[in-house]
Amino acid sequence: MTTSPVRRKRGTGIGNVQLVTTVPKTDKQLVVDLAEQLGLSQSEAMEVILKHLRTELAHDGIPVWFDRNQLPEALPIAKAS
């Protein structure tokens, strides 16, 4: 017997937009497992992850845990004459 997938409560996704991305299978499985453990749909689990990420942003909008040495250097902008 298979269980039906968890669905979000009616009306709680109004105004949401679809996010399409590709990730390694292990990352997808992480979201599937987390959703199952929390009793949420996979989209709700992603919302939880993104809301948590939002709490870890520095003043410039970059996550505090991100290695800033990986950021690309700013390109020089030519001065207007």
Residue 2: pLDDT over 60:
no
Q: Nearest 5°: phi and psi at 63?
A: -55, 140
Instruction: Collect contacts of 65-70 with beta carbons under 8 A, ≥24 apart.
Output: none
**Mean pLDDT in residue range 38-65:** 94
Q: How many CB atoms lie within 10 A of CB 18?
A: 5
- 19 CB contacts (<8 Å, ≥6 apart)? 46
Looking at residue 49, its pLDDT comes to 95
Residue 72: pLDDT over 80:
yes
Of 18 and 13, which is predicted with more confidence?
18
Of 4 and 20, which is predicted with more confidence?
20
Looking at residue 79, its pLDDT comes to 67
Q: Which helix (H) or strand (E) holds 51?
A: helix 42-54
